[in-house]
C-alpha cells in the first residue's frame, strides 16, 4: 500500500466539510493488524478498536499553500508495544463515530515502528514538496 487519501476524506475537502487549516486535525498510530479499506469513513470504522496505538493532540501551525497540507511536527504516546505500519490523519470531532478519516500514511521514514508501551513517538513530517500530503 502507498500513502493515500480516504475517499470520504477527499469528498470532505470537495464539499467543504473538512477545512484542514482551521479544523481540529489529529493523527493516530495504527497497528499492523489494521487493513486499509478505502470505504472506511470514520475513526470507529477502524476495527477492531485495538488497532489504535495512540493519538496526537491537534496539529499546530497547519498550512495549505498550493494544495499541500503541512503542519508542525508532533508526537504521541504509544498505548501498546505492538508493531505499527501506518499513521492515519483524521478530522477530530470529539466522537470516533463522526471523526472523518482523511489520509493513510504507511510509506515514511520510521515506519514500520514497534514502540514500547507508553513511549513517546515523534512524528516528523516530510520537508519535500508534498509535505504531509498534496491534493
Residue with cell 499513521: 87
> Is 66 part of a structural domain of the chain?
no
> Is 97 part of a structural domain of the chain?
yes
> Is 120 part of a structural domain of the chain?
no
Name the band, by pLDDT with cuts 50, 70 and 90, for residue 117.
Answer: very high
Domain encompassing residue 23: 1-59+75-110
Give the three cell numbers for residue 59.
496539529
> Is 127 part of a structural domain of the chain?
no
> Is 39 part of a structural domain of the chain?
yes
Half-sphere exposure (Cβ direction) of 63: Cα atoms closer than 13 Å? 12
Please state, in angstroms and rounded to a whole number, the distance separating the CA atoms of residues 131 and 126: 5
Question: Taking residues 67-84, what's their average pLDDT?
Answer: 95
Total tally of structural domains belonging to the chain: 1
Question: Taking residues 58-71, what's their average pLDDT?
Answer: 96
> Is 21 part of a structural domain of the chain?
yes
> Is 69 part of a structural domain of the chain?
no
pLDDT tens by residue, 36-55: 999 999 999 998 888 999 99
> Is 125 part of a structural domain of the chain?
no
Amino acid at each position: 500500500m502507498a500513502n493515500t487519501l480516504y475517499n470520504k476524506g477527499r469528498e470532505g475537502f470537495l464539499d467543504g466539510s473538512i477545512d484542514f487549516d482551521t479544523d481540529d486535525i489529529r493523527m493516530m498510530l495504527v497497528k499492523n493488524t489494521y487493513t486499509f479499506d478505502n470505504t472506511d469513513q470514520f475513526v470507529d470504522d477502524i476495527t477492531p478498536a485495538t488497532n489504535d496505538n495512540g493519538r496526537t493532540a491537534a496539529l499546530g501551525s497547519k498550512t495549505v499553500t498550493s494544495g499541500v497540507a503541512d503542519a508542525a511536527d508532533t508526537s504521541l504516546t504509544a498505548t501498546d508495544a505492538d508493531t505499527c505500519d501506518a499513521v492515519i490523519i483524521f478530522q477530530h470531532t470529539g466522537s470516533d463515530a463522526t471523526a472523518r478519516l482523511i489520509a493513510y500514511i504507511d510509506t515514511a521514514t520510521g515506519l514500520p515502528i514497534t514502540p514500547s508501551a507508553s513511549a513517546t513517538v515523534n512524528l516528523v513530517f516530510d520537508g519535500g514538496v508534498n509535505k504531509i500530503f498534496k491534493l
